[in-house]
């Protein structure tokens, strides 16, 4: 059945956009699919996907759609809030959950449609981690469309204590020049060198750092 699908991603420069554009191209024709940047562009339909959306989508906005779905990279109810996979990797996680859930007024509290777990290799850099994450997000979007009429969403575990991540700021990418690279590698490898580069301060100046893999041969 042909569906009317909208994807709201606030930033044109977010690295997820390449994946979203491929998803739109793959599904356009089978469904009516729009990629928009602001809630002012929401006209209604079957599904609204909120992917890296920085706006508050009110109940009035959500009523325009049959379902409003969020993709959030944590094992909810743990890790609600901002930039969850970044915080998880910085804190030493080697695998992360990616959750498909219904949007509600209370942040990241809605019923869960599906969770996928992805392994994060200890050597993976930000772009490689993004590839893994965005692939999982695309798979969850496919799942939502394919199971839209048959899914039975599950409430988040009421026995699990929710935890919350704060919004990351540029200051969260600061390295300590007195510490080893190895001890700070997780922070260095998740720092987007274009949007949120790692940096350190020394001798009255601020220095930006980027890391990339080289061919061992």
One-letter-per-residue 3-state SS of 43-90? CCEEEEEECCCCCCCCHHHHCCEEEEEEEECCCCCCCEECCHHHHHHH
Query: Would you state the pLDDT for residue 94?
Result: 95
- At 20-56, the pLDDT tens digits run 999 999 999 999 999 999 999 999 999 999 999 989 8
In the chain, CATH 3.40.50.170 covers 4-165
Q: Identify which of 137, 123, 81 has the alpha carbon closest to the alpha carbon of residue 211.
A: 123
Cα gap 34→12, rounded to integer Å: 14
- Alpha helix stretches (DSSP H) within the chain: 17-27, 59-62, 84-90, 126-146, 185-190
- At 158-179, the pLDDT tens digits run 999 999 999 989 999 999 999 9
CA distance between the termini of the chain = 52
* Topology of the domain comprising 4-165: Rossmann fold (3.40.50)
Cα gap 196→206, rounded to integer Å: 14
Q: Is the pLDDT of residue 216 over 80?
A: no
Chain centroid to CA 5: 19
Residue 1 — very low, low, confident or very high, per pLDDT cuts 50/70/90? confident
């Amino acid at each position: 059945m042909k569906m009317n699908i909208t994807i709201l991603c606030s930033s044109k420069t977010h690295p997820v956009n390449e994946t979203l554009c491929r998803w739109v191209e793959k599904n356009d024709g089978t469904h009516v699919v729009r990629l928009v940047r602001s809630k002012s562009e929401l006209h209604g339909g079957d599904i609204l996907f909120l992917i890296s959306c920085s706006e508050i989508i009110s109940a009035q906005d959500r009523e325009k759609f049959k379902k409003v779905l969020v993709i959030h990279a944590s094992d909810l109810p743990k890790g609600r809030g901002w930039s969850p996979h970044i915080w998880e990797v910085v804190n030493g996680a080697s695998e992360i959950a990616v959750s498909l859930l219904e949007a509600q007024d209370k942040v990241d509290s809605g019923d869960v449609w599906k969770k996928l777990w992805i392994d994060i290799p200890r050597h993976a850099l930000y772009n490689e981690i993004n590839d893994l994450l965005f692939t999982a997000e695309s798979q969850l979007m496919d799942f939502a469309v394919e199971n839209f009429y048959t899914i039975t969403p599950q409430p988040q575990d009421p026995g699990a204590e929710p935890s919350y991540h704060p919004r990351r700021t540029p200051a969260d990418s600061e390295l300590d020049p007195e510490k080893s690279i190895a001890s700070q590698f997780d922070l260095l490898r998740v720092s987007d060198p274009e949007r949120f580069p790692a940096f350190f301060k020394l001798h009255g100046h601020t220095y930006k750092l980027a890391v990339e893999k080289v061919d061992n041969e």
